[in-house]
A and B are shown apart, each in its own frame.
Chain A
Amino acid sequence: GAVVSQHPSWVICKSGTSVKIECRSLDFQATTMFWYRQFPKQSLMLMATSNEGSKATYEQGVEKDKFLINHASLTLSTLTVTSAHPEDSSFYICSASMGLAGAPYGQYFGPGTRLTVT
């Protein structure tokens, strides 16, 4: 149980283009979804938190106009990297929780998306 899928698993795009990454909770309703970046050999850096039907809350330093997050339903959240640049190349991981942010629930992580911007 508690499976989260992510699509695509990897993507290569040209600088200036936009890329959409999907995150789905397959067997549970995700009240809250989280988006993280993970640089090689580093920890997870929280980018934003979203609840279904409301605007995402972005962490300090994360450009909300560049990283567009849509949490359309209790099982789907999308992250769109707009006008991607090489420095946006990273491993993006989503996670989903059955509870509200702050509630003592575990987070279930998707397999991640490797984005390479050329």
Chain B
Amino acid sequence: GQQVMQIPQYQHVQEGEDFTTYCNSSTTLSNIQWYKQRPGGHPVFLIQLVKSGEVKKQKRLTFQFGEAKKNSSLHITATQTTDVGTYFCAGRSYGGSQGNLIFGKGTKLSVKP
């Protein structure tokens, strides 16, 4: 079945450093979504990418969708302590089980002040 792999599993950075998490799907995706889950909280929807090669920015966050629509990345520039949390990608394949999202395992980001 469809799998969504996410790396790295953990990332520890010094405040001010950049951070990137990568997401790879075993199948071509119709779209991919990114979520952030703060410690003890619930996932919060960040963004959705639909088009091949799409790049979207939200302040210090840059989201990319690969040309083949099988991979995606989230890059945070100059991390802050408020960026701490687990970042999940979630891919939706064409015609998959009702087209539901398959979540990656997440990348847990810790930021040292």
Contacts and interface: CB of A to CB of B under 8 A. Distances in A.
B66 interface: no
Interface in B62-101: 88, 92, 97-101
Instruction: State the majority secondary structure of interface residues on B.
Output: strand
B42 A111 contact: yes
Interface residues of B, number: 24
Interface stretch (B14-22, B53-61, B102-110): B102-110
A111 B41 contact: yes
Interface string A62-77: 0000000000000000
Contacts of B27: none
Given A44-B88, A107-B45, A57 B98 contact: yes
Tier of interface size on chain A: 20 to 34
A95 B104 CA distance: 17
Given A43-B103, A43-B106, A44-B88, A101 B44 contact: no
Contacts of B106: 43
Instruction: State the majority secondary structure of interface residues on A.
Output: loop
Nearest to A59: B97
Interface of B: 30-31, 33, 35, 41-45, 48, 50, 88, 92, 97-106, 108
16 contacts: A34-B100, A43-B105, A43-B106, A44-B43, A45-B103, A57-B97, A101-B99, A101-B100, A104-B30, A104-B31, A104-B48, A107-B33, A109-B35, A109-B44, A109-B45, A110-B42
